[in-house]
Structure 1
């Protein structure tokens, strides 16, 4: 967390030539991060403009108005609700560096592991196609588990980690190529996949293969337009401040899903728990 599937059968020759051209084009475009339209069309994005809850701090019974819930991949889906499975895809969870091969951790020029200092998370090295494939294999295992347990979609976090990598160690192209691998796999498993934050890459959602957006504080920082321009009403917004909630609701409350949560996204009943919506203003 930053805070947190027949037309008439073609001939064998046509099939062979088509397969070869497809392979060539796939290699040439962002390391294979090209949208498979058939797979994407087979998945169902979240209901739009509806009650929403962000439950990364622990699962609890959603309020009656909630139709969409986000929970960590270690939790169970919310019964009767469209549930999105959160995975930390671009960084290691705090103190989980040992769960990754040492060469898959991003390192600076002195060989030190590059950390997201705000969250105490080691960054993953998605800088080469070979490493992206190895990292994706592990993350895709979590996505498989999300699908097996009945989740409807997946939210891979820290798409914007390349912006925190010093000295240009990672690029936007690296991030898009890696997320494209996850998107293709999620679609193969029948899951929709969301873009997390990263307004500067929202316009590339079709190239990468993304179905919706999960956005933190776009009201607070006046970024919601970047997401609605790319994703239309398929935008889920989490605000952490009352000012951000008011701005998101006043500007886009009738167009997208907006909720205010406490920064620690605590379960209901815990001291400090906050959940407010545009209807509460």
Structure 2
């Protein structure tokens, strides 16, 4: 949104009454976007441009000056979530919902029949997202964990298996159905939920999710695809790994993204725009 410059014409200018001035001031105050808001259904709604910290490795450093933290759901304790809340932070629960991780405490609950090819990370395999009979109760239990620890939102990862070699004949329709299921599980528990990557399906899914999380859209020239979230008043939490901030921050500010430079290990280190 740009600033509108006043233009003086030839006609005389009428001075507004005191009542009109007060009404205009009130309208201006209410029109300013809050850093986050709570819709009528009670869940948190992060607004575009809000700053964040993304830390998935190591002991969570609660001293980082960021209003939003995105941290590992399994590894982060309820006490740490409460500490962040005491500091006025909102906290997002990272979960892998589209890939199996062999070190998680619930790993034994995933039958071999739903495990596909590796996704490029050690110990991880794509899931057969068509098998909601198996996956829905497992993911519901994970959402319960996030809720019970006090998280405000969920970041479900690996939400674009249909675009990868998973070992299963996944279709775009399969992905839409599964992603909407994941969103519904979070919403049923009063938490917001973000769409991770899956750029091609943003037009179909922007109404189902409360924010987006993206990796490397600047490096691959894809950031404009995320603007439907910003247009809907929903934050886009964005991270780059290989580009210096001078290569993406100007565009991020123009598009209204919440952008960070991170290292691949997703530890404490961050550089903001």
In structure 2, how many angstroms separate the alpha carbons of the residues matched to 1:251 and 1:237? Answer: 12
For residues 72-151 of structure 1, what are the structure 2 equivalents within 5 Å?
72-74=72-74, 75-76=76-77, 77=81, 78-79=84-85, 80-94=88-102, 98-106=108-116, 114-127=117-130, 131-151=131-151
For residues 202-213 of structure 1, what are the structure 2 equivalents within 5 Å?
202-206=202-206, 209-213=208-212
Report which stretch shifted further, 73-82 or 97-106: 97-106
Contact (CA 8 Å) 1:92, 1:123: kept in 2 or not? yes
In structure 1, how many angstroms separate the alpha carbons of the residues matched to 2:242 and 2:63? Answer: 21
Alpha-carbon displacement from aligned partner over 1:144-169 (angstroms, at most 9, x marks no partner): 11111111100110011221135761
Q: CA RMSD in A?
A: 2.2
In structure 1, how many angstroms separate the alpha carbons of the residues matched to 2:122 and 2:190? Answer: 31
Q: Which residue of 1 aligns with 2:16?
A: none
Q: Which residue of 1 aligns with 2:70?
A: 70
In structure 1, how many angstroms separate the alpha carbons of the residues matched to 2:161 and 2:258? Answer: 25
More helix by share: 1
Aligned residues: 221
Residues 167 and 126 of structure 1: CA distance in aligned 2, closer, same or farther (over 3 Å): closer
Q: Which residue of 2 aligns with 1:217?
A: 216
Residues 246 and 133 of structure 1: CA distance in aligned 2, closer, same or farther (over 3 Å): farther
SS in 2 for 1:122: strand
Q: Mind listing any 5+ residue stretches in structure 1 that lack a counterpart?
A: 1-38, 107-113, 268-273
In structure 1, how many angstroms separate the alpha carbons of the residues matched to 2:102 and 2:266? Answer: 17
For residues 43-58 of structure 1, what are the structure 2 equivalents within 5 Å?
43-58=43-58
Q: Which is bigger in relative contact order (C-alpha 8 A, separation at least 6)?
A: 1
Residues 132 and 257 of structure 1: CA distance in aligned 2, closer, same or farther (over 3 Å): same
- Greater gyration radius: 2
SS in 2 for 1:137: helix
In structure 2, how many angstroms separate the alpha carbons of the residues matched to 1:198 and 1:40? Answer: 27
Alpha-carbon displacement from aligned partner over 1:250-281 (angstroms, at most 9, x marks no partner): 112251211111110123xxxxxx31011xxx
* Alpha-carbon shift at residue 117 of structure 1 (Å): 3.1
Contact (CA 8 Å) 2:48, 2:257: kept in 1 or not? yes
TM-score (norm 1): 0.72
Q: Mind listing any 5+ residue stretches in structure 2 that lack a counterpart?
A: 1-38
